[in-house]
A and B are shown apart, each in its own frame.
Chain A
Amino acid sequence: NAGVMQNPRHLVRRRGQEARLRCSPMKGHSHVYWYRQLPEEGLKFMVYLQKENIIDESGMPKERFSAEFPKEGPSILRIQQVVRGDSAAYFCASSPGGAKGTQYFGPGTRLTVL
Chain B
Amino acid sequence: QKEVEQNSGPLSVPEGAIASLNCTYSDRGSQSFFWYRQYSGKSPELIMFIYSNGDKEDGRFTAQLNKASQYVSLLIRDSQPSDSATYLCAVNHGSSNTGKLIFGQGTTLQVKP
In the assembled complex, the CB of B56 is this many whole angstroms from the nearest CB of chain A, namely 13
- Chain A contacts with B in 46-70, Cβ cutoff 8 A: 48, 55-56, 58-59
Per the bound structure, the CA–CA distance linking A93 and B90 in Å amounts to 13
Q: Which of A42, A101, A102, A104 is close to B103, meaning CB atoms less than 8 Å apart?
A: A42
Which residues of chain A are near B49, meaning CB under 8 Å? 102
Interface of B is mostly: loop
Indicate which residue in A31, A44, A105 contacts B44 across the interface (CB closer than 8 Å).
A105
- With A91-B43, A100-B32 already in contact, the answer to whether A45 and B97 are too (CB < 8 A) is no
Contact residues in B for A95 (Cβ distance below 8 Å): 99
The reply to whether the CB of A99 lies closer than 8 angstroms to some CB of chain B is yes
**Complex interface: chain B residues within 8 A of A42 (CB):** 88, 103-106
Tell me if B43 and A56 are in contact (CB < 8 A): no
Interface size on A, residues (CB 8 A): 28
Q: B interface, how many residues as a size bin?
A: 20 to 34
Would B100 and A108 count as touching, CB distance under 8 A? no
Q: CB of B92 within 8 A of chain A?
A: yes
Q: How far is the CB of B2 from chain A (nearest CB, A)?
A: 9
Residues of chain B contacted by A31 (CB below 8 angstroms): 99
A43 touches B99 (CB 8 A): no
Task: Judge whether A98 is part of the interface by a CB distance below 8 angstroms.
Answer: yes
Q: Which residues of chain B come closer than 8 Å to A74, judged between CB atoms?
A: none
Given contacts A48-B99, A105-B45, A107-B42, 15 further A-B contacts (CB under 8 A): A35-B103, A43-B44, A43-B88, A44-B103, A48-B100, A55-B98, A58-B96, A93-B101, A97-B99, A99-B99, A100-B99, A104-B46, A105-B36, A105-B43, A105-B46
Closest 7 CB pairs of A and B: A43-B103, A105-B43, A56-B98, A42-B105, A99-B97, A100-B32, A105-B44
